[in-house]
Amino acid sequence: MKFRSVKGMQCPECCGPVEVRHVRLPHFACPHCGLALCVPNRFLTAARILGAGLGLVLCYAFDMGGIAFIVGPLVGFFLIGSVLAVPLLVIAPPELEKNFHIRRTLGL
């Protein structure tokens, strides 16, 4: 079985390596060129869906019935998903995107 080499995150502008400790949500500056970067929303959504699934499994494992099957995935979506995003940044580094949401002055 052949594993693909794990390529870390890198800046789309300067191609400099970006480590997990540099990453902030919702956006952060590239440690090399200062460009505003963000983790793609689809990555965070995937982490939250995974968290929701984990929340559901935990509720089932602890034999919590009824309302827990609604609360578990909800808590998992927001809480476990956000926590899961950190190791996922290492295991499956996303392609960072330029953050277009930051409003800048028009260079004035």
Smallest distance, Å, CB 86 to Zn ion? Answer: 21
Among 32, 36, 49, 58, binds Zn ion (CB under 5 A): 32
The footprint of Zn ion on this chain (CB under 5 A) covers a number of residues equal to 8
Smallest distance, Å, CB 36 to Zn ion? Answer: 10
Smallest distance, Å, CB 7 to Zn ion? Answer: 16
Instruction: Please identify, using beta-carbon distances, which residue of 33 and 92 lies nearer to Zn ion.
Output: 33
Instruction: Please identify, using beta-carbon distances, which residue of 30 and 85 lies nearer to Zn ion.
Output: 30
Pairing status of strand 97-98 against strand 36-38 = antiparallel
Report the sign of the C-alpha dihedral through residues 66, 70, 76, 79, in that order: negative
Among 10, 14, 49, 75, binds Zn ion (CB under 5 A): 14
- Please report, as ranges, the residues that interact with Zn ion according to CB under 5 A: 11, 13-14, 16, 30, 32-33, 35
